[in-house]
Amino acid sequence: MLTPRLSGAGKLASVRIRMIALVALIAVSAAAALAGPAGAAPRPARIVGGATAPAGTAPWTAALVAHNLSAQSGAYCGATVASPTAVITAAHCVTEGPGQFDVVTGRSILSAGDGQRLPVTSVDLDPAYRRDRTGHDAAVVHLGSPTTAPPIGIATAGTAGLAAPGARLLLTGWGIVTNRDKAASDSLREATVAVQGNRRCRMSYRQAFNGTQMICSAGGLPDACHGDSGGPLVSLDGATPTLVGIVSFGGRRCGDSTFPGVYTRVSYESAFLEQAVSKTPAPPPATVAPGSQIGTSYGPIG
């Protein structure tokens, strides 16, 4: 069964309904749903079998947080800073659109007071994405205020080899640490994930896996898990870190060697991502209360 890597924190009822419907409709496909604002058999993802990331590791890693909750209790998906005003995530994390979630950047410990919590002005989904099937699981979220967190490079057709079988890639996220956990990790976690050929994932997920559009991990531990959806899979082989994968879905149990983790292949999505990231939509007019932090961060840090 497929499971999106979404966290249980702050899930919307409509998302839960869609996830249930998707699992029923596709027995071996990654379900794509927003878990709070939110994987394969698809599952939401925390990094299982990884370790706490040292301070300053992967500063491009961002968190999507349910609008009315603290960062620690409301984090449900990951994201990657692609420009001062845009982050990249999985489409299934943001189907509800802006207004349902904020983006936290520049922070390793969710409960800490550093970094920024930023409003969202708009969301661009891959036009071919469909909630009831796998594939095209990519989106760009536009921020109402610029982040000071450093952006990362985006894999293109010319750098697709960075995610070739055998490549070892950096995975980061705040997802659950064991299959028994019910809440996201407060501390950012990291793991090195190996890429394997597409045959294994085709055997596990059948028609739900498309090797042109997706990357297949080696299976077993370490693995992404619930809450890691949308987060970065990064190549450090090169002059600059490069985003090559987006956490998408996996088996019902994280770390199951029978159902390897599946990631959206960024080089396949590069045309859409680059075009969407380059957009700078004008933020909507807003009434700002005295003392508001809009402009540097959004709302109370937490």
Q: Residues with catalytic annotation?
A: 92, 137, 229
Q: What are the CB-based long-range contacts (under 8 Å, 24+) for 271-274? A: 272/124, 272/126, 272/127, 272/138, 273/82, 273/88, 273/138, 273/140, 273/154, 274/154, 274/156
CA distances from 260 to 100, 112, 201 (A): 31, 33, 7
β partners of residue 61: 80
Contact 116, 185 (CB under 8 A): no
Provide the 10 A C-beta neighbour count for residue 170: 19
Residues 6+ apart with CB under 8 A from 298: 102, 116, 117, 118, 119, 144, 145
- Could you say which DSSP state residue 261 is in? -
